[in-house]
Homo-oligomer: A and B are copies of this chain.
Amino acid sequence: MKQIDSISYPIYFNSIAEKLDKFIEDGKYSRFFILTDEHTALHCLPLITDKVNPDNYDLLEVSAGEESKTIDFCIGIWKMLIDFDADRNSLLINLGGGVVTDLGGFAASTYKRGIDFIHIPTTLLSQVDASIGGKTGIDIDNLKNIIGTFTQPKAVFIEHAFLETLPARQIKSGTAEMLKHGLIADADYWHALKNSNLEKPEAELVYQSAVIKNKVVTEDPSERGQRKILNFGHTIGHALESYSLDHDKNPLTHGEAIAAGMICEAWLSHQKCDLPAADLDEIVSTLLAIYGKYQVKEASFVELRNIMKKDKKNQGGKINCSLLTKIGDCRIDNICTDDELCDSLRYYAQLEYARV
């Protein structure tokens, strides 16, 4: 069983059976609470509750989906903790995808000015991304993570077995962040990953992705500088995700939106940071083959740009992107003009894509 030592806490791999009970016992918590959504309550909770004393915990549940990542659901969690008389020495276990870990982390970091929490991420996306790095957050008016804190969990437990319960589209959503980790920091990993079976990512590749994410956040916990490389593909990707959530009946997943954002921002990288044309082609063909193409229309550009203007990385009203210099290397703080951003969307819109 593997373990990564993060900023101030361990990330355990495939260790719930052996380590969770002892972790709770050693923490001398007065009690603990498990936050789930209806899916993780059904598919993942038994693995936890089999291992711990049933007298010591209570269950909290929110609805599955990004719609739960709001202040209203956060207030719901606070009120449940109040009703259960949760004291400062309580522990919150966030069992779910990124929505549950971000929302639960924010609720815990502010309840009675902060109680301990741990993450047990159950989606690939949250295993390789959301659960690592101490970001908590909720959305307001579809602005993702506009409110939150930097608060580290006390531990993260990553279980490969949970991935077997996931639909294929959710697995693909997670592999987008894994591919991003290769693009921004490790060309070998990118090549290994894109040539692997992405429908069933191997445990070793999941582990390596967590290692990359952890290395970046450990060196810059509060995102003053280099941590921003993780935002490659996200300036445009987040805008597409918000836009799609507002306009589409079947909205893009996070990974699908970020894949489209990475194509646009790879094009910007080619224009502004000398990303070689061969690298751009490789990125575009790889991502299109996996994620297909989203219909982006010229009429949506104004709204997309307005969403980008709210991006947390911006300073002084300027839109700030993290761009690639080559596959495996990323440079932060590239100011992009409105024209450049629109041109990157136009580039994406004109790509030819033959469904395979």
**Residues of A in contact with B (beta carbons under 8 Å apart):** 30, 71, 75, 78-79, 82, 85, 87-89, 106, 109-114, 135-137, 140-141, 143, 145-150, 222-223, 309-310, 312, 314-317
Whether A150 contacts B113 by the Cβ 8 Å rule is: yes
Give me the 7 closest cross-chain CB pairs, A-B, nearest first.
A113-B148, A112-B312, A30-B316, A110-B147, A87-B315, A113-B150, A89-B315
Contact A312 B147 (CB under 8 A): no
Sampled A-B contacts (6; CB under 8 Å) = A78-B146, A109-B149, A113-B137, A113-B150, A113-B222, A113-B312
Complex Cα distance, B151 from A149, in Å, reads 10
Chain B neighbourhood of A75, CB < 8 A: 71, 140
Inter-chain CA distance A146–B86, complex, in Å, is: 11
Copies of this chain, whole number = 2
> Do A82 and B148 touch across chains, with their CB atoms under 8 A apart?
no
Minimum CB–CB distance for A3 against chain B, Å? 27
What is the CB-to-nearest-CB distance from A247 to chain B, in angstroms, rounded to a whole number? 20
CB-based contact B149/A317 at 8 Å:
no
The interface residues of chain B lying within 8 Å CB-to-CB of A150 are: 113-114
Say whether B310 contacts A114, CB under 8 Å.
Answer: no
- Residue of B with least CB distance to A310: B82
The answer on a CB contact under 8 Å between B315 and A143 is no
Tell me if B87 and A314 are in contact (CB < 8 A). Answer: yes
Known contacts A78-B140, A113-B136, then 15 further A-B pairs from the complex at CB < 8 Å, ordered by chain A residue: A75-B140, A82-B140, A82-B146, A85-B309, A85-B317, A87-B316, A109-B149, A110-B149, A112-B146, A112-B148, A113-B135, A113-B148, A113-B222, A113-B312, A114-B222
List the B side residues contacting A317 at CB < 8 Å: 85, 87
Bound-complex Cα distance A141 to B82 (A):
10
A112 and B316 CA atoms in complex are apart in Å by 15
Contacts of A314 in B (CB 8 A): 87
Q: Are B82 and A143 closer than 8 Å at their CB atoms?
A: yes
Q: Indicate the member of A137, A146, A310 with the most B CB atoms within 10 Å.
A: A146
Residues of B close to A140: CB separation below 8 A: 75, 78-79, 82
What residues on B are CB-neighbors of A135 within 8 Å?
A: 113
Known: A113-B150, A149-B149. A30 touches B78 (CB 8 A): no
- CA distance in complex: A87, B146 (Å): 11
- Residues of chain B with a CB closer than 8 A to A71's CB: 71, 75
Docked complex Cα distance between A143 and B316 (Å):
38
Q: Are B88 and A315 in contact (CB under 8 A)?
A: yes
Q: Is the CB of B110 within 8 A of A110?
A: yes
Closest-by-CB residue of B relative to A143 is B82
Complex Cα–Cα for A89 and B87 (A): 35
